[in-house]
Amino acid sequence: MPHIQQLSSHVADLIAAGEVVERPASVVKELVENAIDAGASAIVVEIQRGGMGLIRVTGIAPDELPTAFLRHATSKLRTEEDLGKIGTLGFRGEALAAISAVSRVDVLTRQSEDAIGAAIHGEGGAMGPVREEGAPAGTTIRVADLFYNTPARLKFMKKDSAETAAVAGLMQHLALSHPDISFKFIKDGQETLHTPGDGKLESAVYAALGREFAKTLPGGALIAFTGGLGAGKTAFCQGLAEGLGCTDPVSSPTFAIVNYYRGPRPLAHFDLYRIHTENDLAAAGFYDYLDMGAVVACEWSENCADLLEQEQPLHLHIDRMDETARKMTLG
């Protein structure tokens, strides 16, 4: 019968890492929450093949890099009393140590007031020396080859598509929970989420939902918006344009009547408040945009309801319930 013996620190670290890092989404969650706690105003997450690529965060000073990857190393509490007044998403000092134990990690960081940045590389929990290196302000953490040294854990990973979906769902949740932070999510080189970070919940919601809605639209689709001032129709069109791959900035077409956003699937964005007749629509290029296969989105569609009905539009009504709540009805 085997005798009881104390595990080596390396094996113990691998076991402990398994409690924190279960899959790529776990890595993203820990790093994004670190960035949020550090006061980041913009966070970028990029993954490849359903795994972890890189994430941009802020808050780790260059002289703290070696300490940041030690177990139970944290800036968020000091004493036993602090446990009763935790106001951050993370506090245990386990995340970076756990992630570095089961992956190859590179960190590049620079505080805005510093002229030069710092970098560090680690594999399997063993961190190398800190070196000076040019860097933009902020912190980039790149996690590669997740679970490369724990083949048993690697064997139980799901398909790339399933892992990607888990990270995408997490990013949408984080973006909606923190509308004051701009979130960008890139999977396999394709940007699939980008919120403005303007502090408005509806902006984050529409950025997320508009992108998803765009995936369902064929070329030449017509969207008839209704809803009062401040309901968020233009904000929804921002997410819609991003989902269609448009590259031009989105703004209200109130004064121009129509804004055209270029991209692989272009979007024509109309304000019909001053449009009432078929000739008015034709003069503004409404029918031309439909014929060329652009997606057409019309605010104040009730002004031309009968004319738009002839084009079989999708109806999207947005009710402004209060400062933070909106009700969307698709018909």
What local confidence, expressed as pLDDT, does residue 189 receive?
A: 87
Q: How confident is the model at residue 111 (pLDDT cuts 50, 70, 90)?
A: confident
Could you say which DSSP state residue 77 is in?
-
- Give long-range contacts, CB 8 A cutoff, 24+ apart: 1-10: 10/124, 10/125
Instruction: Give the DSSP H/E element, type plus range, for residue 39.
Output: none
- Whether residue 16 is predicted with pLDDT greater than 50 in this model: the reply is no
Q: Is the pLDDT of residue 270 over 90?
A: yes
229 has pLDDT over 80: no
Averaged pLDDT, 241-262: 90
Confidence of residue 298 (pLDDT cuts 50, 70, 90): very high
Least-confidence region, from 49-53, 104-108, 184-188, 275-279 = 49-53
pLDDT score of 248 more than 50: yes
How does residue 66 score in pLDDT terms, banded at 50, 70 and 90? low
The confidence score (pLDDT) of residue 68 equals: 62
Give the C-alpha separation, 176 to 114, whole Å.
33
Under the banding of pLDDT at 50, 70 and 90, the label for residue 148 is confident
pLDDT greater than 80 at residue 314: yes
Q: Per CATH, the architecture of 9-194 is what?
A: 2-Layer Sandwich (3.30)
The answer, yes or no, to whether residue 118 has pLDDT greater than 80, is yes
Question: Which residue in this structure is represented by tokens 């396999």?
Answer: 188
Q: Identify the weakest region by mean pLDDT among 63-77, 193-207, 261-275.
A: 63-77
Q: 2-16, 221-235, 264-278: lowest mean pLDDT where?
A: 2-16
Helices then strands, each counted (H, E), the chain: 11, 15
Q: What is the pLDDT of residue 194?
A: 84
Q: Which of 89, 121, 70, 92 is nearest to 20 (CA)?
A: 92
- Confidence class for position 15, pLDDT limits 50, 70, 90: very low
Q: Is the predicted pLDDT of residue 251 greater than 50, yes or no? A: yes
pLDDT digits (tens, 9 = 90+) for 252-261: 898 899 999 9
Q: What is the 3-state secondary structure (H, E, C) of 147-208?
A: CCCCHHHHHCCCCHHHHHHHHHHHHHHHHHHCCCCEEEEEECCEEEEECCCCCCHHHHHHHH
Domain boundaries, the chain: 9-194, 201-330
What type of residue sits at position 57?
V
Q: Using CA atoms, how far apart are residues 291 and 275, in angstroms rounded to an integer?
A: 19
Predicted pLDDT of residue 323: 67
Average pLDDT over residues 302-307: 94
Q: Determine the average pLDDT of the residues in 138-142.
A: 87
| 9-194 and 201-330: identical CATH topology | no
Please give the backbone phi and psi of residue 269, each rounded to the nearest 5 degrees, phi first: -115, 110
pLDDT of 174-190, one tens digit each?
Answer: 988 888 999 988 888 88
204: closest CA among 229, 228, 182? 182
pLDDT mean over 224-233? 80
Q: Which CATH class is domain 201-330?
A: alpha beta
Q: How confident is the model at residue 17 (pLDDT cuts 50, 70, 90)?
A: very low
Instruction: Please compute the mean of the pLDDT values over residues 122-150 and round it to a whole number.
Output: 88
Region label for 232, one of left (φ > 0), alpha (ψ between -120 and 50) or beta (otherwise): left
Q: Helix 201-214 to helix 233-244 angle, to the nearest 10 degrees?
A: 40
pLDDT band at 77 (very low <50, low <70, confident <90, very high): very low
